[in-house]
Each structure stands twice: as structure tokens, then as C-alpha cells.
């Protein structure tokens, strides 16, 4: 399995809503939801446990084709969440196809060194103090409210990062 950064994994508790893939044995315990929508048992992102899937035969309702075939992503297995999403389909359908923000680590180019600075882009979740560095593509999508990311969840910003100017530390501190 390829390296997945911590920011692309959500840790959750599973209480029997999911089963171990291929066995239909209900799973209870720690799990990780990866950015590709797959869920794995355990909490070690380097060596994840078995893949977990829903056991539709025991679910309270038959899932719609839309719930099953959303690019391999499942929006929610918890019964209360399913009921809320059915009653608020507009919100649920908006959130269903949004991707997690990818982290970025920019590298200055030769031209940036000649200029003495380069531009960096950041996103901050509005419901906590978590900042994340993003690339220009992601920044533009959130700013323009395109439907790739949940633009309602983030505040975005940009700044110049000095790399060769005199007093570079002082300028970057400001």
C-alpha cells in the first residue's frame, strides 16, 4: 500500500455497522477511513487491517444504487445519519461527492529564487483551528466555489514567502 499522510485519514469507531470484507463477520473497534473512501480495521496507516464493508443484507433499508456506486465511497453507514441525509438530500448530495483537501509542500523554482519570494496557499477549517497548506489549484477551486471540495468548510488565504531577500526571517515572521 502506498504512503498515505495522516491528513488524508479519518479515525473512527465501528460498532458492528461494517463487516470484514469477504467474511461478513461484524467488526467492532478502531478503524480508518482513507481519502479514497475505503475503510480499514485498526489504526496503523502504514499496515492497515482488513478492509471493512457494509453488510447490506442486515441493513434497515436497501441502499440505493447511488449510495453503492459513488466512486467507491460510502457517505454514511450509521442509521441516524442515513435518515438525516434522506430528509436533507440537497445537503447530503452536495457533501457526498466532495474530496478531502490534499496537502501540498511547495518547492521554490529557479525563477522564485531570482524574484526572492514565492506565493503559498493555505486553508483553515471554519470549525476548528486546523490550518493546512494547499496548492494553487485547490485554492482556486475553493475560491471559485467549484464543486470539487466543500468550499463552505474552509477559509482560504495566501501570502508571500520570502526566500532570498535581506531580513528574510523578519519578513516571514510578519
Query: Is the pLDDT at 71 greater than 90, yes or no?
Result: no
Give me the pLDDT at residue 126, please. 87
pTM: 0.50
> pLDDT band for position 110 (50/70/90)?
very high
Give me the pLDDT at residue 38, please. 85
What SS3 class is residue 18? strand
Query: Is the pLDDT at 29 greater than 60, yes or no?
Result: yes
Point out the least confidently predicted range of 14-28, 69-83, 119-133. Answer: 69-83
Strands (E) in 42-95, as ranges, are 51-54
Point out the least confidently predicted range of 14-23, 35-44, 74-83. Answer: 74-83
**What's the CA gap between 77 and 57, in Å, rounded?**
13
At CA 64, angle to CA 63 and CA 67, rounded to 5?
85
- Expressed in percent and rounded to 5, the helix, strand and coil fractions of the chain are 25, 30, 40
As to burial, measured by CB atoms within 10 angstroms (0-12 exposed, 13-18 middle, 19+ buried), residue 142 is buried
pLDDT above 70 coverage of the chain, percent: 79
Residues whose CB falls within 8 Å of the CB of residue 126, separated by 6 or more in sequence, listed in order: 152, 153, 154, 155
Per-residue pLDDT tens digits for 46-69? 888 899 988 655 433 444 434 443
**What's the CA gap between 136 and 104, in Å, rounded?**
9
Query: Is the pLDDT at 168 greater than 50, yes or no?
Result: yes
Helix (H) or strand (E) holding 30: strand 25-34
Per-residue pLDDT tens digits for 85-98? 677 777 766 776 77
Give me the pLDDT at residue 77, please. 56
What SS3 class is residue 41? strand
Give me the pLDDT at residue 63, please. 44
Amino acid at each position: 500500500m502506498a504512503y498515505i499522510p495522516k491528513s488524508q485519514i479519518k479515525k473512527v469507531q465501528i460498532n458492528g455497522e461494517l463487516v470484514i470484507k469477504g467474511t461478513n463477520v461484524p467488526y467492532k473497534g478502531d478503524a480508518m477511513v482513507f481519502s479514497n473512501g475505503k475503510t480499514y480495521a485498526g489504526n496503523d496507516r502504514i499496515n492497515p487491517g482488513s478492509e471493512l464493508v457494509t453488510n447490506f443484507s442486515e441493513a434497515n433499508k436497501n441502499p440505493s444504487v447511488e449510495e453503492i456506486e459513488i466512486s467507491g465511497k460510502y457517505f454514511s453507514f450509521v442509521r441516524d445519519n442515513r435518515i438525516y441525509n434522506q430528509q436533507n438530500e440537497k445537503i447530503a448530495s452536495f457533501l457526498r461527492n466532495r474530496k478531502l483537501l490534499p496537502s501540498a509542500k511547495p518547492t521554490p523554482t529557479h525563477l522564485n529564487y531570482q524574484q526572492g519570494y514565492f506565493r503559498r496557499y493555505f486553508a483553515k477549517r471554519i470549525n476548528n483551528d486546523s490550518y493546512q497548506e494547499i496548492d494553487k489549484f485547490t485554492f482556486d477551486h475553493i475560491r471559485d466555489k467549484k464543486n470539487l471540495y466543500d468550499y463552505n468548510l474552509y477559509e482560504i488565504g495566501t501570502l508571500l514567502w520570502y526566500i532570498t531577500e535581506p531580513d528574510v526571517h523578519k519578513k516571514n515572521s510578519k
